[in-house]
Amino acid sequence: MIPGRVFVTGTDTDVGKSVICAAIKAADPGRVALKPVATGGDADAKLIGSPIGVSLKEPLSPHRAAELEGTRISLTEVVAWIRKHQGDRCVVEGVGGWRVPLDWDHDVSDLAAVLGWPVLVVAADRLGCLSHTRLTVDAIRGRGLRVCGVVLNRRSPDHSSEHNLDDLERLLDVPVRAFPHLDWILDPVLAEAGTTLF
């Protein structure tokens, strides 16, 4: 089961975090979905039905996008924004991957560590995901956080996709689920898939 409060991170950017967050919310409409930091527009926030805490124009790492706009992201303010909007059941979508800088002193892992919630890892089902996923899981645990599961997002399958799910299930000691790439249609099919993630 997805924990009541969960932080969703990715092994990289553009691996499908928003799709998975949308599926979680569709399966549990009473759950709050939050996008505290967004770069390059508000498409991800719209997909999960979230307000945005910090919105930056350029599709770059948050620290760089903020610097180009002459501003700086405050970890304290981002956490306060989450605390203001969260509920007992809440999914927070990170930005980029686990170590993407929010400013020159903090990154996504710092945000997750302050929250202290279980972390759900999203990985794209493609060559390289075994190493990327294992490194991300190790890094999350290195911050003293629990990994509640891994979602293998089948958005860009290649030859490795024949084996990635089986391999991750054997290599990791957390639940691993595959998810079809359905960010183009949020309908009952997506909601149904969301109910079977964990």
- Which helix (H) or strand (E) segment is 22 a member of? helix 17-27
Query: Residues 17, 25, 35, 46: which is the catalytic one?
Result: 35
Residue 35 is among the residues annotated as catalytic for this protein: yes
**Whole-angstrom distance, CA of residue 22 vs CA of residue 49:** 8
User: CB 118: neighbour CB atoms within 10 A?
Assistant: 18
Q: What are phi and psi of 133, to 5 degrees?
A: -70, -45
**Whole-angstrom distance, CA of residue 71 vs CA of residue 82:** 20
Q: In sequence order, what E strands does 57-145 have?
A: 90-97, 119-124
Q: In sequence order, what E strands does 11-155 have?
A: 32-39, 52-56, 90-97, 119-124, 147-154
For the chain, what is the total number of helices (H) and then of strands (E)? Answer: 8, 7
Give the closest residue to 178 by CA, choosing from 133, 117, 131, 119: 133
Known catalytic residues are: 35
